[in-house]
Amino acid sequence: MPDLWSRLNSSLSKTRTALIERFQTLLPRDGRMKEETWEELEEILLTADVGPTVTEDLIQTIKAERVSSLDDIRTALAARLEEIMRAELPRVPTHFTPPLVILVVGVNGVGKTTSIAKLARKFRQDGQRVILAACDTFRAAAVEQLSVWANRVGAELIAHQEGSDPAAVAYDAVQAAIARRAGVLILDTAGRLQTKTNLMQELLKIRRVLGKARPDLPQETLLVLDATTGQNALSQTRLFQEAVPLTGIILAKLDGTAKGGIAVAIQKELGVPIKWLGTGEGFDDLESFEAGAFVSALLTEKE
């Protein structure tokens, strides 16, 4: 099994190539940073989607360092990026009474159901009993998709008929999780943003049902974001944050974009820690987020 760095290194290859290839041509032969050089560096960072705030911060930091080579720039960038990205919260809450209940939210198509399968897989490998709840009752296909994943990863499924009340599914699921002494319950939800108020009310109702079953539930509410949507991810986060308190972010589809810098913007601007990175469509393609490994995979070419 390759280590975290090399696995991340290949999912970040598009973003890294976009950064590094352009860095190569950045520095004038005399090694002196000129006004155009700074402007170009700024543009490279913006193109990778780290966002204007972080770009400004990085430029100021590098200026203060008096860099004179590509390596200097890279070192200064890496150090500051790592500072920005170091999350203070643990990945999974370490002190909780089982079951660990994880509510997963996000707009349609970002990768919620797939990410749930990946999480379930991790907990199953850990020997935990895992229950998945199909609270996306809007389409029969959504329930079917979760059911297929549940089978593949060896999790149990709680589902009702298409069109039924998502909160009723949540109720049954949390009762089952407690009665069966499951280690983990993960709830899948719908993400139809065109009915924004309804969606947010639905999520609140699910939360209330969980909290009534036991006041500390859910311990986790994870928002899934699609890395390929760029800066749009920031507004999605703000939207969900208004409705439900988020405890973390799963950043999916990092493998499919040259704009992986969005992870930095999220971490810096939203105050919600990235906890997991989605790096492919398979159930093993989920990496825990670690600032150091992320930054070095972002800026170091594979040997």
Q: Which residues in this chain contact Mg ion in the complex, by CB under 5 A?
A: 112-113
Task: Identify which of residues 80 and 118 has a Cβ nearer to ligand GDP in the complex.
Answer: 118
- Residue 80 binds to ligand GDP (criterion: CB under 6 A): no
Kindly identify the residues of this chain, within the stretch 255-274, that bind ligand GDP according to CB under 6 A: 255-256
Q: Tell me if 221 sits within 8 A of 242, measured CB to CB.
A: no
Single out the residue of 13, 108, 296, 300 in contact with ligand GDP (rule: CB under 6 A). 108
Task: Identify which of residues 43 and 144 has a Cβ nearer to Mg ion in the complex.
Answer: 144
CA angle 189, 261, 101 (to 5 degrees): 25
Binding-site size, ligand GDP (CB under 6 A): 19
Pairing of strands 156-158, 130-134: parallel
Kindly identify the residues of this chain, within the stretch 109-138, that bind ligand GDP according to CB under 6 A: 109-114
Single out the residue of 57, 82, 156, 285 in contact with ligand GDP (rule: CB under 6 A). 285
Taking CB within 5 to 8 Å according to partner kind, which of ligand GDP, Mg ion, none is near residue 279? ligand GDP
Single out the residue of 80, 280, 295, 297 in contact with ligand GDP (rule: CB under 6 A). 280
Other C-beta atoms lying within 10 Å of the C-beta of residue 74: 17
Instruction: Spell out the residues 6+ positions from residue 288 whose beta carbon is closer than 8 angstroms to its own.
Output: 4, 91, 275, 276, 277
Residue 237 backbone zone (phi > 0: left; psi -120 to 50: alpha; other: beta): alpha
3-state secondary structure 271-295: CCCEEEEECCCCCCCEEECCHHHHH
Taking CB within 5 to 8 Å according to partner kind, which of Mg ion, ligand GDP, none is near residue 253? ligand GDP
Task: Identify which of residues 14 and 74 has a Cβ nearer to ligand GDP in the complex.
Answer: 14
Taking CB within 5 to 8 Å according to partner kind, which of ligand GDP, Mg ion, none is near residue 50? none
User: 218: cis peptide before it, omega within 30°?
Assistant: yes
